[in-house]
Amino acid sequence: MTHFNNTKEAEEIFREKKVVKNPIKFKVSLNEEQKEAKQLIIDNTITLLAGQAGSGKTLLACQVALDGLIRRIYQKVIITRPTVSKEDIGFLPGDLREKMDPWVQPIYQNFFTLYDKAKVEKFIKDGKIEIVPVSFMRGRTFLDSCVIVDEAQNVTHEQMEMIVTRLGLRSRMMVCGDQHQTDLKKKSDSGFKYLYKASRKIKNLEAITLKSNHRNEIVEDLRDYYTDNPIY
């Protein structure tokens, strides 16, 4: 049996044995802002990706996750986002994937945009890309995994604490959200906002705000108009 002096040494040897070093060719390239954010993700255990809708934060998270899965840095990609309650999910027809399908389609579309659709669907079928509702995460530990938390601005403080403490060895987490937009009744309840502040004090927890607009040029003008001309 091999004995390691510390956890870091064990992780380095583990990665060296299995990682595919050749770069993966994706259908969509990252811009300079996303490349900078990707390096931040690589250098840290948990990275918060903040930005408005269309800033490319979820696409970036999906690219990092797919790259790590294909190169065997991770055994699995875990995707979670706030949805309906555990009780309500139970009333929906189908298995868990079918129940969650309406909520995770935007993430699937990012995967399909980046990589061959048939290969991504095989990852999903084989359980290498797993959908886990926030309400189902309690009690689990994610080992050798890349975890994506999407729409994190709608995750409560209590839920966020539960999510980030699920992370196990040889794993990484990306938390995507918009600090300025939440469906929670009180903005102060947002676990994303609280975690963003914590990133200033906790080692290996970093945050970056993406500012580019990856949607139609008119989107930026519409955002400015709605901000400057509130209906009330």
pLDDT at 138: 85
pLDDT at 39: 94
Q: Position 189: which residue type?
A: D
Half-sphere exposure of 63 (CA within 13 A, CB side): 23
pLDDT at 85: 46
Cβ contacts of 190 within 8 Å, gap of 6 or more? 153, 154, 155, 156, 157, 177, 179, 182, 184
Which residue, 74, 75, 129, is CA-closest to 97? 129
pLDDT at 24: 84
In a domain, 8, yes or no: no
In a domain, 81, yes or no: yes
In a domain, 62, yes or no: yes
Tokens of 49: 């990706």
For the chain, state the CA radius of gyration. Answer: 18
pLDDT at 223: 63
Domain coverage including residue 189: 34-228
pLDDT digits (tens, 9 = 90+) for 24-62: 889 888 889 999 999 999 999 999 999 988 888 999 999
Residue ranges of the chain whose pLDDT lies below 70: 1-18, 83-103, 214-227, 231-232
pLDDT at 4: 41
CA 172 to CA 169: how far, in whole Å? 9
In a domain, 28, yes or no: no
Where do the H-state alpha helices sit in the chain? 7-18, 32-43, 57-70, 86-91, 96-114, 117-125, 157-164, 191-198, 218-228
Task: Say how many C-beta atoms besides its own lie within 10 A of residue 21's C-beta.
Answer: 6
In a domain, 17, yes or no: no
Looking at residue 121, which CATH number applies to its domain?
Answer: 3.40.50.300
User: Is there a contact between 72 and 19 (Cβ–Cβ < 8 Å)?
Assistant: yes
pLDDT at 162: 93
Number of helices (H), then strands (E), in the chain = 9, 6
CA 106 to CA 104: how far, in whole Å? 5
Q: Edge-to-edge strand order for the sheet containing 172-177?
A: 129-131, 76-80, 145-149, 172-177, 46-50, 205-209
Total of domains in the chain: 1
> CA 29: distance to chain centroid?
18
CA 176 to CA 60: how far, in whole Å? 10
In a domain, 24, yes or no: no
